[in-house]
Structure 1
């Protein structure tokens, strides 16, 4: 069973294409790794999966009840905020 399906996926920032024509499927019990050089679009793809950013072109489908949490690599904490508080806020929509 396919949990995630992407076809002809594309994302750009302004005139700069991050990636184009990306397609893949992730199936139940499958383990994957996302590997690439800096600037290849790994974090951008994760933000698309978490629906933090919109898809410019193509189709991305996830089961309606499944949600993806995304925590940025670099985090700025508000004064007095704990890591637990930040994580609770970042993943509140996943619960």
Structure 2
């Protein structure tokens, strides 16, 4: 476990994670962000600033996995979450968890 994360552990603190990187990019006309984290269990996680619903799709696509073995894997899933249904005709939604 990361020493900083270990330092923050207590019976009252939970869901501790360390921000590793933040990326900014544009997809079409939309500015989006990706954050990668390391959690106290040694897993990498990601969040995207927006979610996309392709035209004619019932809802937005969110990655089903939450914990990753590497930052590269977390970024791969973030890219998939942003672009899997991207068609340029749909709608972006702000991710309140970002």
TM-score if structure 1 supplies the norm length? 0.29
Which structure's residues are more often strand, by fraction? Answer: 2
TM-score if structure 2 supplies the norm length? 0.28
